[in-house]
Amino acid sequence: MPHAGGGLRPAARGGTGGGAAHLDDLDLNPLLAKADSGDRPVHCTIQGRNEVPETLDAQIIADAEPLFELGEKMQLQYTIRNTHRAIGTKLSSKITRRFGMNGLKPGHVTVRLRGSAGQSLGAFAVQGLKLEVFGDANDYVGKGLSGGVITLRPPLNSPLVAEANTIIGNTVLYGATAGKLFANGQAGERFAVRNSGATVVIEGCGSNGCEYMTGGVAVILGAVGDNFGAGMSGGMAYVHDPGRELHARANMETLVICRVEAACWGEELLNLVREHAVQTGSLKATEILRHWDDELQNFWQVCPNEMISRLPRPLSDRVAAARV
């Protein structure tokens, strides 16, 4: 409460403030002290706003004029760095305004990028747009992906072993609803969090993979981190796990994990691994395909408990019998 000096002191014991006894002598006046600003103003005097520079998408949209004017199929190429953020987002907005969400066939316009992409590569990318990255990307790749296709692979001259190195950052495919992503390398943490419809193939991920996933399909051709599938309530995941480590790292309270036994699910997995090899040139995917009959036994199929009875086909006769 105010005191005679105009400052603030805590209420006395027994007063309306109900302060603790050891706070009786606490002086809050320093909080109200006004710093000496010299001859400078103490409030903002800038008029107007700080304009944000245009993104790479402005150049892409300008270069893609034949697409918007004549509907031409196009392929564009750019060199990028990690200050280029949300590549493809404005372009997707313009595609949607001109052609609608499904007006273009997949891959109608391909944007090939070389270098390191900044955050939110391909955020909200729509059907018709394909982003091909020869390099790597930061966090939030494919955030809100809405039908577009994103592929990432190391540069052709890279000395790195793709499957053993991270190529995309954290929180990939956050809130994605449709589309595909293929990455020839590992993802960071919280991979496919809240994914509700996109299809993705990567070669390993960190902790909390497929967290809160509600739909879509995720194929991981490598190790996963702890707490895999936490809060996962929909969709499907396939994990290549020859070392049999998945059960120790998955959130087993809500998941069913079994081998890929039904032919329909095995075919879905095979087709996705094939597409990954074609899209990214993955050596690991190629090796798995070369020994498919043996490697299929190293995959686990992961499905949320609550989805078992809602699948178009059972995971396997054994799981169906166990549920009965």
Q: 167-208: per-residue pLDDT in tens?
A: 999 999 999 999 999 999 999 999 999 999 999 999 999 999
Alpha helix (H) ranges present in 152-261? 246-249
Give dist(CA 108, CA 53) in Å, integer. 28
Percentage of the chain with pLDDT > 90? Answer: 78
Distances in Å between the Cα of 271 and the Cα atoms of 56, 157, 190 are 34, 28, 25
Asked whether the predicted pLDDT for residue 323 surpasses 90, the reply is no
- Cα-only R_g, the chain: 26
| SS3 of residue 121 by DSSP | coil
In the prediction, which pLDDT does 203 show?
98
- What totals of helices (H) and strands (E) does the chain contain, helices first? 8, 10
In the prediction, which pLDDT does 324 show?
52
43-97 per-position pLDDT tens digit? 888 888 888 888 999 999 999 999 999 999 999 999 999 999 999 999 999 999 9
138-173 per-position pLDDT tens digit? 999 999 999 999 999 999 999 999 999 999 999 999
Say if residues 202 and 183 touch (Cβ distance below 8 Å): yes
Q: Return phi, psi of residue 164, to 5°.
A: -100, 5
In the prediction, which pLDDT does 34 show?
85
Token pair for 26? 């606490």
Asked whether the predicted pLDDT for residue 106 surpasses 60, the reply is yes
Arithmetic mean of pLDDT over the chain: 92
Say if residues 208 and 189 touch (Cβ distance below 8 Å): yes
Asked whether the predicted pLDDT for residue 9 surpasses 80, the reply is no
Put simply, whether the predicted model's pTM sits higher than 0.75 gets the answer yes
Secondary structure (DSSP) of 25-66 = T---GGGGPPPP-TTS-SS----S--PPPP-HHHHHHHHTHH
What sign does the dihedral 154-151-296-208 (CA atoms) show? positive
Fold of 73-319: Pectate Lyase C-like (2.160.20)
Listed residue (124, 175, 125, 180) closest to 152, CA to CA: 180
pLDDT-derived band at 319 (thresholds 50, 70, 90) equals low
Asked whether the predicted pLDDT for residue 300 surpasses 80, the reply is yes
